[in-house]
Structure 1
Amino acid sequence: MSPRTARAFVPVVPVVPAVTLALVAAACIVTGDANAAFHDPIDTPAAAAPNATHEPMMSVALAGKRLVAVGPRGVILLSDDDAAHWRQAPSPVSSDLVSVMFATPQQGWAVGHDGQVLHSADGGATWHKQLDGIQAAKLMQSFYSHQAGTSPDLKTAQDEAARFLADMGGRPFLDVWFDNDRSGWVVGSFNIIFHTKDGGKTWEPWFDRVDNPNALNLHTIRRIGSTLYIAGEQGLLLKLDEGAQRFVGLKTPSKSSFFGMTSSGSTLIAYGLLGNAFRTVDNGQTWQKISLPTGASVLASGQLADGRLLLGTQAGELLVSSDHGKTFSRVATPVPGAVFGLMTRGSEAIVTGAAGLSRIELPVAGSAK
């Protein structure tokens, strides 16, 4: 049984991570005879999932007025009536999808396990594969084998490319970010990162352009204000130096893994494992620990129309702040199960989590408990 067969075969159950967001997204459980009727999820279309709205879903994004959500086994759901009803869109893969975003109402991307990168040019109605793990591994090996020089960064990139290929491309992409319909990034485990300048038609590996000597997992990538940030394992925080075209390290306030970043005004907040959250008002030069009313890992964030910040936790809690992240309190209405992703519209939150999809109306400012 090959490593990819053993990892990829059958049911995927999202669980809370011990150390990485890859396990937040999904833990693969092998059952039965893996040699019997195996269909590689890397190129097997997603099966119909009539109960998907009540089963684990990982991420949700806005495509114009349409909501698009993704989850395990390649499931993609669409809603055109503010989450009242959902329908399944065709998906070319049955690998787990863990993140989705739209740069325009039409142009969107989803990423996930087995190195999958999917693209939609029609607001999520149809999707095609732009990249998978095997293609990415071959691309990375070819790219770095043609680079001249003896720098340690290049040697490390060449060695990692060989390991990536030996793994048969079995590295998950954990997040995606596009500034527009041309320039975008995908990031994932073991410092795997690719950049495109043509909307995903071609991709270039940036493994050697990241200050991440231990090849820690890259959990999320977001542009906040004018700066592009990456947050990852063991307190890794990076920002893009546009001039040098390199992700440089930020002073980290913690060695605890970060799963996301958000902002309010001039405040930047990094959050993650076991309720750890920190804020900075000077672009990461100094950090202050936020005392959250939870010890649960924080996995998602959003901002309401009135400016309040919202965090979602593995314990199904929603935490709200009205003072730019200095303090947070619990929202009276909990979510049924862990929160894996959320987006906000007006005064409501659309949540993806262990219990599926939820639409939650947030209390007005001053009434959170």
Structure 2
Amino acid sequence: MKRLGILPLVMGLMAAGQAWSAPAIALGDVRQAALVAVARAGDGLVAVGDHGVVALSSDGQHWRQARSVPVDGLLTAVSFIDARQGWAVGHGGVLLHSVDGGQQWTQQASLDGKPVLLSVLFTDACHGLVVGAYGYAARTNDGGATWQALRVGGEGDDFHLNQVFRAADGSLYIAGEAGHAYRSSDQGASWQPLDTGVSGSLWTGIGLRDGRVLLAGMSGRVVLGDARGEHWRLLDSGSREAISAVAELDDGRVVLVGNAGLLALADPALTHFTVSQREDRLNIAALATQSGRLQLFGGAGVIDSLAPDAKATVTSRQAAENARR
């Protein structure tokens, strides 16, 4: 999976084992688990990662482990449609479903071919999509009970599809390998390739509230598209570090996080990024906003909770705690 940042972590964890027969490991402190993805479930957060670990929080400060997860492999992505119902995916075509806010999970039928799944998006209780390595994509119209394979790229394309997300107008986007990106206006039934103007891998994206679309990835690359994905321009993120996650704050500012403790904050017009870096240089794999604060996750677990305007520094206490993880 040719990407830096979160994906070396994901691939390294994948290489550690392929078994899914055992339940998730139980941890004394779930904050120390390797966590690679996070989603909002109502007012709370649900983060997923290695060994089938699912971490839950109602405030971003206090974390507990899910009571029941039937697999012990790597979970790579998670999507909730409300405070109760969500789905998580991992490698080996594994699909998990929760109806109680992430406390307990059941395993749905694995996808044919056991693909490496990298992203999942459900738009309601019935309609969902998964994407993954080597161009794999599928959608469901029955809540994940059955899936139909999709062709996103052209004949023979096997570019990794790294993230699927929804834009403000309801259209769907996929950020992919080697600068490839795609848009669907029919809930994923068909996909239009987009000319982003870049060749480096795009690993994450977001639909901004004003309708525009932002994609980011390798070497600090950020591209901004119009509401239909027809015109794109390259932005200066102020960093060459790989970008793994992006979020929009309530005031319209945009936050990027990534390799080596990168934290970049842009004004709502996206004219300038203010860049800072954690002293411990921990790779940040996932990002969420909670109660006006940024929640950061990665191979070191729940890395930090900080105000958006705070410098991405780390106290000596945090450094000592992270060093023990």
Between the aligned partners of 1:183 and 1:107, the Cα distance in structure 2 is 13
* Conserved 8 A contact 1:60-1:351: no
* Conserved 8 A contact 1:58-1:340: yes
Identity of matched residues, %: 27
Between the aligned partners of 1:71 and 1:60, the Cα distance in structure 2 is 9
Q: Deviations over 1:256-314 (max 9, x none)?
A: 11001124323321100111111123532222111112111100011122221111111
Report the equivalent of 2:103.
125
* Conserved 8 A contact 2:90-2:118: yes
Q: SS state of the match for residue 271, structure 1?
A: strand
Report the equivalent of 1:205.
149
Structure 1 or 2, whichever has the larger Rg, is 1
Between the aligned partners of 2:280 and 2:140, the Cα distance in structure 1 is 36
Deviation at 1:240, TM superposition (A): 0.9
Between the aligned partners of 2:101 and 2:293, the Cα distance in structure 1 is 22
2:164 paired with 1:221 = yes
1:322 to 262, 267, 284: 267
Q: SS state of the match for residue 244, structure 2?
A: strand
Deviation at 1:368, TM superposition (A): 9.3
Is there any run of 5+ residues in structure 1 with no aligned partner, and where? 1-15, 32-38, 138-163
Q: SS state of the match for residue 200, structure 2?
A: coil
Q: SS state of the match for residue 339, structure 1?
A: coil
2:199 to 255, 267, 275: 255
* Conserved 8 A contact 1:22-1:174: no
Between the aligned partners of 1:91 and 1:243, the Cα distance in structure 2 is 29
Q: Deviations over 1:101-129 (max 9, x none)?
A: 10111110111111111110111010011
RMSD: 2.7
Deviation at 1:64, TM superposition (A): 1.8
Q: Which segment is superposed worse, 285-294 or 116-125?
A: 285-294
Number of residue pairs aligned between Structure 1 and Structure 2? 311
Is there any run of 5+ residues in structure 2 with no aligned partner, and where? 314-325
Letter matched to residue 340 of structure 1 = A
Question: TM-score scaled to structure 2, two decimals?
Answer: 0.86
Between the aligned partners of 1:223 and 1:304, the Cα distance in structure 2 is 17
Between the aligned partners of 1:51 and 1:116, the Cα distance in structure 2 is 25
* Conserved 8 A contact 1:74-1:95: yes
2:39 paired with 1:95 = no
Deviation at 1:19, TM superposition (A): 6.3
Between the aligned partners of 2:296 and 2:266, the Cα distance in structure 1 is 18
Letter matched to residue 301 of structure 2 = G
Q: Deviations over 1:138-167 (max 9, x none)?
A: xxxxxxxxxxxxxxxxxxxxxxxxxx4xxx
Change (3 A) 1:271 1:130: same
Report the equivalent of 2:24.
46
Q: How does 1:1-369 map to 2 (within 5 A)?
A: 18=3, 22-28=7-13, 41-132=19-110, 136-137=111-112, 164=113, 169=114, 171-207=115-151, 210-211=153-154, 213-225=156-168, 226-242=170-186, 245-264=189-208, 265-281=210-226, 283-331=228-276, 337-364=282-309
